[in-house]
Amino acid sequence: MAYLQLQAIEKFFGELRAIKGIDLEIQQGEFVVFVGPSGCGKSTLLRLIAGLEQIDGGKLVLDGRDITELPSSKRDLAMVFQSYALYPHMSVFENMSFALKLAGVDPAIIKDKVDRAAAILNLTQYLDRTPKALSGGQRQRVAIGRAIVRAPKVFLFDEPLSNLDAALRGQTRVEIAKLHRDLGATTIYVTHDQVEAMTLADRVVVLRDGVIEQVGTPLELYDKPANQFVAQFIGTPQMNVIAAASLPQLQGVYGLPIPAGGFVGLRPENLTIRPSGSGGVQGQVELVEALGAETLIYVQTGAAQLVARQNTRTRLRVGDHVGVDIDADSAHLFDAQGRITRTGAAAAH
């Protein structure tokens, strides 16, 4: 039996049906990431699990116990917020120990738990400081430490890295992954950043408009997207999706069996830039993004723009005429409604 079960979960805000009958099973020790665009319902779903919003329909079961109607404090969950939510007048030690102190835990046990969490998070030397004396990354680690000392059954993270700068975000992401591995805890993590989802998750749950579009491992979603929405949401830069009518060569030169009114999806790494006159498609360079280890080349081909990724540097400049070769075997095909009709050959390996 799954450790955490969401059974036909519903949430209404007035007339708006924000969460539309979600079913999901999460195993013990799993790291599950909810991802999707703004307004898709991922934070609302997390708050329903946490008990911060009332569930209007369905059932929530944790470790065999129905917790649907239980208050947040009785659910044995710990939540880490985007805003840290630390008490400014308390020291790091006091912030991390506050919930245990309220619960009447023995002071010696509290000290042991806080000291261990601080050691895991490299916070030992900061225990006497107040939050204003800490960096953003350190404050976020204090918020995580406060959750750790409670030893909950499930950790809930609501976009915990979005207030950090790019360097700190990458560093803290690594720390969270290591922390999960060391603790073996069950973790649900909400983000709009699909790079975080791809790098942290055992399984990713892609949400849109209050429903689950697809659940799978990061590479399953990348290689075998269920539909055009998932295909374009997962991957940076996003998949090229071209209407068949705007690039006739896809059927004429490459013979792709595109459904009537359908679309072709091409990952940037499945396109190769060739000299002008060669390749299956001709176009003009619109933009070159030299990122060091890789180069992104944007090519306008009539009515369609293509983005190619290559692991070498280029001398191409804006305005240059080029050819583009397409790895047709790796193309994903979608019908007019965006449903997948064929996944690329890369997905078969």
pLDDT at 153 over 50: yes
Residue 164 predicted with pLDDT over 80: no
Tell me the mean pLDDT in the region 151-170. 86
Question: b or e along 282-314 (b: 16 or more beta carbons within 10 Å of the residue's beta carbon)?
Answer: bbebeebeeeeeebbbbbebeebebbbbeeeeb
Q: What is the pLDDT of the chain when averaged over all its residues?
A: 92
- Assigned architecture for domain 4-223: 3-Layer(aba) Sandwich (3.40)
Nearest to 98 by CA among 109, 87, 108, 88: 87
State which of 22-36, 252-266, 335-349 shows the largest mean pLDDT.
22-36
**Every domain of the chain and the residues it spans:** 4-223, 228-348
Q: Is pLDDT above 50 for 12?
A: yes
pLDDT at 155: 93
| Alpha-carbon gap, residue 61 to 22, rounded angstroms | 13
In the prediction, which pLDDT does 303 show?
A: 85
Residue 90 pLDDT level (bands cut at 50, 70, 90)? very high
Q: For position 349, what pLDDT does the model report?
A: 39
Share of the chain above pLDDT 70, in %: 99
Homologous superfamily of the 228-348 domain (CATH):
Nucleic acid-binding proteins (2.40.50.140)
Do 4-223 and 228-348 come out as alike in CATH topology?
no
Q: Which pLDDT band, with edges at 50, 70 and 90, does 347 fall under? A: very low
Q: Which two tokens stand for residue 290?
A: 């030299």
pLDDT for position 274: 96
How do strand 186-191 and strand 31-35 relate by DSSP bridges? parallel
- Of 26-30, 145-149, 273-277, 282-286, where does mean pLDDT reach its minimum? 145-149
What is the pLDDT confidence band of residue 348, given thresholds at 50, 70 and 90? very low
**Per-residue model confidence (pLDDT) at position 173:** 87
- Alpha-carbon distance of 193 to 170, in angstroms, equals 12
The mean per-residue pLDDT over the stretch 234-260 comes to 89
Q: What is the pLDDT of residues 272-301, one digit of tens each?
A: 999 999 989 999 999 999 999 999 999 999
- The pLDDT value recorded for residue 170 is 84
Round to the nearest angstrom and report the end-to-end CA distance of the chain.
30
**CA–CA distance, 253 with 280 (Å, rounded to integer):** 6
User: Which ranges in 57-165 belong to alpha helices (H)?
Assistant: 92-102, 107-120, 136-149
Measure the CA–CA gap between 338 and 201, rounded to whole angstroms.
26
C-alpha radius of gyration, the chain, whole number: 24
Instruction: Quote the CA–CA distance of 127 and 301 in Å, as a whole number.
Output: 59
Q: Which SS3 state, helix, strand or coil, does residue 79 take?
A: strand
- Average pLDDT of the segment spanning 130-145: 90
% of the chain beyond a pLDDT of 90: 73
Closest CA to 65 of 47, 57, 77, 54: 77
